[in-house]
């Protein structure tokens, strides 16, 4: 059951991270290079084609957030019903480094995706310009795509963190329970008539 739970969390992180990547890439491809300007009285009205860029960007933000939450849960989840103190987990320098990297990449990807999505939405809402030379801009090219790749990287880092966490947990539990995972030890019993030694649990 514990192995199944571990796999479920890992697959969930990978799935939501992949969705954030896919939504971001599609948003980048669907985003128009610019709107179409129409001249009015002392103003320029920008018309943008109907496309799902803002919706896809929003979905990417949400799925990346879920992937990040699951990534954090994967580190502190009590696998097999056994909790491990945080300080015990972070004794591993490697785990600490990857945790910081995963969190940093996740925050950067989330911020970049939100920036691109909000910028694109504002361009479409505030489409009346008094600058007659406006080119009807959209969000900067590459923001959605860059954020998408960062989201995928973040999911991969969280998966690495989960693997390192499982190793740190095993080390800690072995120190706490030197008899083994289930507290069983084996003793050698000798029969009274000099027969071969027999292994049995105590």
* Contact (Cβ atoms closer than 8 angstroms) between residue 28 and residue 149: no
* Averages of pLDDT over each 10 residues, the chain, 202 residues: 76 96 95 86 87 94 97 88 84 92 97 95 88 85 95 96 91 70 44 48 42
Residue 127 backbone phi and psi in degrees, to 5: -100, 10
- Global pTM reads 0.79
Angstrom CA distances, 76 to 47, 116, 164, 169, stand at 49, 32, 12, 10
């Amino acid at each position: 059951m514990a192995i199944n739970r571990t796999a479920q969390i890992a697959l969930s992180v990978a799935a939501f991270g992949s969705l954030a990547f896919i939504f971001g890439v599609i948003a980048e491809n669907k985003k128009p290079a610019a709107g179409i300007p129409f001249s009015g009285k002392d103003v320029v009205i920008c018309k943008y084609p109907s496309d799902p860029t803002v919706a896809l960007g929003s979905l990417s933000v949400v799925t990346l957030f879920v992937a990040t939450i699951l990534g954090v849960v994967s580190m502190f989840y009590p696998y097999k019903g056994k909790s491990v103190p945080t300080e015990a987990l972070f004794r591993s320098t490697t785990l600490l480094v990857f945790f910081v990297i995963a969190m940093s990449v996740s925050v950067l990807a989330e911020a970049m995706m939100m920036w691109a999505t909000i910028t694109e939405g504002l361009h479409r809402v505030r489409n009346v310009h008094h600058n007659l030379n406006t080119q009807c801009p959209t969000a900067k090219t590459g923001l959605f795509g860059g954020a998408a790749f960062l989201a995928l990287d973040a999911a991969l880092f969280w998966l690495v963190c989960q693997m390192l966490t499982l190793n740190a947990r095993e080390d800690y539990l072995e120190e706490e329970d030197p008899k083994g995972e289930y507290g069983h030890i084996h003793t050698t019993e000798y029969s009274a008539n000099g027969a071969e030694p027999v292994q049995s649990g105590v």
